[in-house]
Amino acid sequence: MNESALRNAETIASGIVDRFALPAPAGSIEPYGGGLINATFLVTAGDARYILQRVNDSVFPEPERILSNLSVLAGHAATHAESKLRIPALIGARDGLSFVRDGQGGFWHLMAFIPNALGLARIEDLEQAREIGRILGRFHVLVSDLPVERLAVTLPRFHVTPGYLERFKQVLATHATAHPEALSQAIACVTARQAGVGVLEAARRDGRLPVRVVHGDPKLDNILFDRVTGRAISLIDLDTVQAGLVHYDIGDCLRSCCNRRDGPAGAGFDLDLCRAILVAYAEETDGLLDATEIELLFDAIRLIPFELALRFLTDHLEGNRCFRVTERGQNLHKARVQLALVADIETKERAIRGIVAACFKGGETGPRDRRF
């Protein structure tokens, strides 16, 4: 998605929002968040705020399934009030449906904005990191007794890394000309690491890893904190809630939270943040993961940023069809950041494996507090 498409969505949003059952007229509509796939807006109506989103149906082929899953998740959470995990409420349309279609066929839905909540642009201290581990663990405990069969597949083959690699190879074969140096280096990095991409899927196929309900995208942007207490209170952007491996969530959370730099030259995996998140996650889940799941956590920590690099590279080669970009070469730049992060994770394998083992055996209490 490019900026022109986002501006078009913003224009359409102003006419769409009044078709939802709001208690007061919409006063303002502004782009919201850093999401790269869907078009998301913050709507103010009276004293309340809402999140209006147009689902990218080139990524989510059956967007109605998203709302079906949200309804199932909200109903399940209502029976587990002890989890203290806030699930945003869906706001229906005036015609009785849970969504609205615009004149171009675009799919829109509206959710209540959780009051007194805020997101973080970056982690400032280790207590925030621990809160992230707690909220992810709380989510996994909440859905641990939710049968995966009750949830539809919203994004087919999401986080199936061998599928992303195969697609990358197909696209690359159609661009078999000379490449700029930065792209050639990224391609070489991918080629050197392709042998290990099937480790999680192989364990899933042979039954060594259980399929569970997962969030699918628990990056820092999608975690909300209480403005007063500083506690993490919600995981948002629930489009990708479906059956999967907890490794997807843990790997993506650590990928997002533990890289302290935006550029390839400075990308690095922060071990203190990793330890703080995993200590809190392990305490919160308290035996939820089995021995094989724990054993393969390092593989997930390494694999998920590699997978995202594949997706960025593929989209770069295809002309930025999936991820929103604001400048030329942005997807290539992001791919290089993720590949640099993978390389740093590989150099720290022994330390990361040690952290994982200690956290899930109860031997880690986390590092002393420091600010970043």
pLDDT in tens, 20-50: 999 998 989 998 876 778 889 999 999 899 9
Question: Mean of the pLDDT values across residues 247-259?
Answer: 97
Q: How far apart are CA 328 and CA 168, in angstroms?
A: 20
The pLDDT score that the predictor gives to residue 14 is 81
Average pLDDT, the chain: 91
**Whether the predicted pLDDT of 265 surpasses 90:** no
Domain map (residue ranges) of the chain? 3-113, 126-360
Query: Fold for domain 126-360?
Result: Aminoglycoside 3'-phosphotransferase; Chain: A, domain 2 (3.90.1200)
**Whether the predicted pLDDT of 364 surpasses 70:** no
**Whether the predicted pLDDT of 166 surpasses 70:** yes
pLDDT in tens, 53-108: 999 888 899 999 999 999 999 999 999 988 889 999 999 999 999 999 998 899 99
**Whether the predicted pLDDT of 235 surpasses 90:** yes
Q: How many CA atoms lie within 13 A of 38 on its CB side?
A: 24
Question: Mean of the pLDDT values across residues 243-252?
Answer: 98
pLDDT in tens, 97-148: 999 999 889 999 999 999 999 999 899 999 999 999 999 999 999 999 999 9
Within a 10 A sphere around the Cβ of 372, how many other Cβ atoms?
Answer: 13
Q: 259: closest CA among 274, 250, 270, 247? A: 270
The pLDDT score that the predictor gives to residue 5 is 58
**Whether the predicted pLDDT of 8 surpasses 50:** yes
The pLDDT score that the predictor gives to residue 6 is 56
The pLDDT score that the predictor gives to residue 2 is 52
User: pTM value?
Assistant: 0.91
| Banded model confidence at residue 4, pLDDT cuts 50, 70, 90 | low
- Top pLDDT among 230 and 363 is at 230
**Whether the predicted pLDDT of 3 surpasses 70:** no
The Cα-based distances of 273 to 5, 105, 307, 348 in angstroms read 36, 43, 21, 14
The Cα-based distances of 195 to 198, 201, 215, 303 in angstroms read 8, 13, 27, 11
- Top pLDDT among 52 and 264 is at 52
- Top pLDDT among 225 and 265 is at 225
The pLDDT score that the predictor gives to residue 13 is 86
Query: Which token pair is 311?
Result: 């997706």
* DSSP one-letter string for 292-334: HHHHTHHHHHHHHHHHHHHHHHHHHHTTSSSS-BSSTTHHHHH
CATH class, domain 3-113, is alpha beta
The pLDDT score that the predictor gives to residue 372 is 43
Q: Where are the beta strands (DSSP E) in the chain?
A: 26-31, 39-45, 48-55, 90-91, 100-101, 107-112, 117-118, 212-214, 223-226, 232-235, 242-244
